[in-house]
């Protein structure tokens, strides 16, 4: 969260820098997915499916929520 707030990739004009930031974030998400897979296999699988990485190239796609929404009645 701090990295994203500091870099503000949505506000950057330099496309190369923006791509580098998003690439870093996708790489971190892939690592998180791999680390949680032994404990939360379905969640890790959903994350990896959503990242849609092939040969180091990410093509993220929208998927289902990782966790169900908690309803406060």
- At 39 the pLDDT is 96
Interval 5-20 mean pLDDT: 88
- At 35 the pLDDT is 97
Q: What is the pLDDT of residues 17-60, one digit of tens each?
A: 998 998 999 999 999 999 999 999 999 999 999 999 988 888 99
Question: Who has greater pLDDT, 41 or 11?
Answer: 41
What's the rounded Cα separation, in Å, for the pair 40 and 44? 6
Q: Is the pLDDT of residue 73 over 80?
A: no
**Contact at 8 Å (CB) between 50 and 63?**
yes
């Amino acid at each position: 969260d701090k990295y994203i707030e500091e870099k503000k990739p949505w506000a950057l004009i330099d496309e190369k820098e923006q791509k580098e930031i998003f690439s870093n974030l996708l790489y971190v998400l892939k690592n998180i997915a791999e680390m949680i897979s032994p404990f939360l296999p379905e969640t890790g699988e959903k994350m990896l499916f959503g990242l849609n990485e092939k040969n180091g190239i990410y093509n993220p796609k929208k998927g289902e929520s990782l966790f169900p929404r908690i309803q406060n009645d």
